[in-house]
Amino acid sequence: MTNDFFNWPAAAGTMAVTPGIRRRAVDDVNRLREAAERDQLWASLRALLPEIERLGREPWEDTDRARQLVRVLAGVVAAELRYRAGAAEDGP
């Protein structure tokens, strides 16, 4: 009786990964990478929380810092909306 594990070259041909499975695996890796990048981005915003809260609470002050913060927040929100739109198209 032969064990295919020890007959690797022959067994490898019978265990080929189909293109559909490979594509799903690549998609899963890409989704995990995107999720990690998003989590890292949101975590980095925690340092800006006091400024974000002040921006929403106090009257608008037209400063370079306030404009920069608005641009950062707009970019984050736009990226999140694009991500969610793509996730909705891809399905669960």
Q: Give per-residue pLDDT as tens, 41-91.
A: 888 899 999 999 999 999 999 999 999 999 999 988 888 898 888 877 766
Q: How far is CA 55 from CA 62, 71, 82, in A?
A: 11, 13, 24
Asked if residue 9 has pLDDT above 60, the reply is no
- Residue the block writes with tokens 């690549």: 26
DSSP state at residue 2:
-
Is 86 within 8 Å of 71 (Cβ atoms)? no
Which spans in the chain are helix H?
8-14, 19-45, 49-57, 64-90
Two tokens at 66? 């306030």
Would you state the pLDDT for residue 49?
95
Give which of 23, 65, 27 is closest to 48, Cα–Cα: 65
pLDDT at 17 over 70: no
